[in-house]
Structures are given as C-alpha cells and as structure tokens.
Amino acid sequence: MGIFGLKQYRSTTFCVFGFLMCLVVSSSAQTDLKLKLDTSATQIGYPVDVRLILTSSAESPSGHVVFPQLTVDDTLTGGIEIWEVDTLTSKIEDNISGNFVKTIEQRFVVAAFDTGYIPVEPLTAIVDSDTITSNAELLYVKGIQVDTSAAIRDLKQLVTDEISTGELLAYLGKKYGLWTGLSLIIVALAIYLWIVFKRRRNVAPIQVKIEVPPYEWAIDRLKHIESRALWQNNKVKEYHTEITMVIRGYIEKRYAIQALEKTTDEIVSSMRMEAFSAELKDKLRQLLLLADLVKFAKENPLTEENQRIMLIAREFINETKVSPIANTESPGANTRQIEEPQNRTSQ
C-alpha cells in the first residue's frame, strides 16, 4: 500500500469513527415515548395493563412534561374502555454507556368489549414545546365459548355469612335467658378486673430514661419540612437538601455510618451489607441522586417527583426503624435528648 493509499485509509477510518460517536451521543440524548401492553391477546372484558413510558437524558433540563389526560370510564380507539389510571411515576438510572436516563411512566388498565384485532393508536406527550408520539399496538380480543348444551347455573356459589358478636350474644340470650347471659358477662368482667388489679399491685414502679430513637427524630424532622411547603413556594433546592440531610443524619444514628461526610455512591456502597430489600436500596439511591441533580445540575423535578421524594424518605425510615430500648435509671432521670447533625453538603 502506497503513502497515498495509507492516508486515504486513515481519513476514511477517522470519518467512520466520528460518525459512530455522533450516533452514540444523539441516541443518549434522545427523548422517546413507548406504549407497552402486558399481553397481545386477551378475552373480551378482561383487564389489560398498559404503560406509557417517556425516557430522556437526566443531564439535560427536563422542562415541562404533559402526558395525555386519561380518566376512568373514558374510551380509547376501537371501544377500549379505561378502568383504572395510576399516578405518574418517575425514576433516574444509569444506562450501559454510563449516562443517567430519566424515565416517566403512566400506567392504566383497559378492557375491550369487541372481538378480533383491535388497534391501539399512538398516544402523544408534550415536552416543552415538542410533541412526541408513541408507537401503536395491536390487541387481539377473543370471545367466550358458550356451551349451549349445558344447563344454566349461577355464576358464583352461595357464600355463608359469618356470625357477628352481637348475633352470638342475642342467640345465647334467647337460648339461656337474658338475665343469665348478663350475669355471666358481669362475673367474667369482675374476674378480669381483679386479675389486672392484683398484677399491678405486685409490680414495683420503674424509673426509665427515654431517649428519642433515630426514626422518631427523623419523622419529626420530615413533618417539620413538609409543614413549611418549601417546594410549593419555589424553594425546591432547599426542600431536597433538607430531606437528604435528614436521611443522612438518620443513617449516621441508625447504622453508625458517617453519612454526612460521604457522597451518594459512598453511602450506597456502605449500605450494601445492611439487611433490607434491594428495592428499598434502589429507592434510597434514587432519592440521593435526584437531590444531587437538583443541587448541582439545576434539575427541575416534576410535582410528582417532589411528592414522591418525601414518600420514599418516610418509607426508608419506617422500613429500617428499630424499637427503642428503655434503660433503668434513678428517679427523676427522664430526659429527651437528640443531637442535630451539622448541615453539610456531600462533596
């Protein structure tokens, strides 16, 4: 190969590599809307789960997102009825290329009352001023085979109703007499009160020192944050920062991990051996990651994300809490102490 051929080969290789890099960058920043059915075939009148999923790059500003306004008892194309509509959910995760991807999902349940192949036409969503259209789906609806030779029967068997306490007392009073039944109740109540009184007399009073457990401290702080309506008054950054500071302080007190000094990845790595579900660990990572994007990348979360971040914080604290331990102390030792963690920002 001559010098001219070698230069031409290098030039062609460089152009192809640059073209591929442009494709990767453009695909990572692409906004996509997908319509998914949990099944492609169903019976007439049976519920079908449908998900409308919007994915976009989490590093770029999310802007204003408007999903289709779906309501219960509304209909789609082909006479498909909407039975149930869930609230919007969102999450942030990293893809294979190492970029963060933001996903917003709308789940709803539909049912069809016609047979054959029924098209589910595309739905649209608005991101800023752009209109994005989803894919279409095809749903096959089968009819119900009726055996005309069989006898007519009820759809459901008869169910025996359980007897309530009031009905049982009325039955006993009718069978054994009203006064006899009342006498038995009074005697049983007297024996119960006598046993309780006797036990209390034999128990010496114990002075205990009550310390505020980490979960109680954390729940009180979250209530205080919620009462100030920060994100409703355009204080989104302060709202997310204070919630994450509460979670970091709770982790320090609950697991003895220096969470106030660690980054999000370091906290998640330190918590990997703790005994709670992988789903809860993923939610904790979502909470801390969204707060980092709000503080450092000027992310503007949706209303549902601001509400969900508080729900995740409460769920994490309630799922990982431990019962408080009472310590015996001398009289007059009742105290209620808690040390507030310093307000530090992760590096």
Domain membership of residue 51 (yes or no) is yes
Q: Are residues 91 and 180 in the same domain?
A: no
Q: What is the CATH number of the domain that holds 118?
A: 2.60.40.740
pLDDT at 95 over 80: no
Q: What is the pLDDT of residue 24?
A: 43
CA atoms of 294 and 346, how far apart (whole Å) = 13
Other beta carbons less than 10 A from residue 100's beta carbon = 15
Q: Which amino acid is at 147?
A: D
Residue 211, φ and ψ in degrees, nearest 5: -110, 140
- Domain count for the chain, please give it: 3
What is the value of pTM for the model shown?
A: 0.41
Domain membership of residue 148 (yes or no) is no
Can you list the positions of beta strands (E) in 44-166?
A: 48-57, 65-66, 81-85, 89-94, 100-111, 116-120, 124-127, 130-133, 137-142
Q: Are residues 196 and 218 in the same domain?
A: no
Q: Mean pLDDT across the stretch 138-162?
A: 80
Domain membership of residue 95 (yes or no) is yes
pLDDT at 26 over 80: no
Q: Are residues 256 and 177 in the same domain?
A: no
Q: Are residues 113 and 184 in the same domain?
A: no
Q: Are residues 117 and 186 in the same domain?
A: no
Domain membership of residue 339 (yes or no) is no
**Of 6-15, 70-79, 91-100, 194-203, minimum mean pLDDT range:** 6-15
Q: Are residues 181 and 120 in the same domain?
A: no
When pLDDT is cut at 50, 70 and 90, the band that residue 87 belongs to is confident
Other beta carbons less than 10 A from residue 86's beta carbon = 13
Q: Are residues 258 and 195 in the same domain?
A: no
Domain membership of residue 333 (yes or no) is no
Domain membership of residue 12 (yes or no) is no
Q: Mean pLDDT across the stretch 258-262?
A: 87
When pLDDT is cut at 50, 70 and 90, the band that residue 82 belongs to is very high
pLDDT digits (tens, 9 = 90+) for 284-341: 889 999 988 988 888 889 989 989 999 999 999 998 887 555 444 433 333 344 444 4
pLDDT at 347 over 50: no
Q: Are residues 135 and 33 in the same domain?
A: yes
pLDDT at 342 over 60: no
Domain membership of residue 13 (yes or no) is no
CA atoms of 44 and 143, how far apart (whole Å) = 6
Q: Are residues 76 and 129 in the same domain?
A: yes
pLDDT at 6 over 60: no
Boundary of a domain, candidates 142, 161, 191? 142
Q: Are residues 75 and 128 in the same domain?
A: yes
**Of 6-10, 109-113, 169-173, 239-243, minimum mean pLDDT range:** 6-10
CA distances from 133 to 61, 101, 318 (A): 20, 19, 40
Q: What is the pLDDT of residue 334?
A: 39
Positive or negative torsion for Cα 283, 286, 291, 292: positive
Domain membership of residue 259 (yes or no) is yes
Residue span of the structural domain in which 59 resides: 29-142
Q: Are residues 178 and 255 in the same domain?
A: no
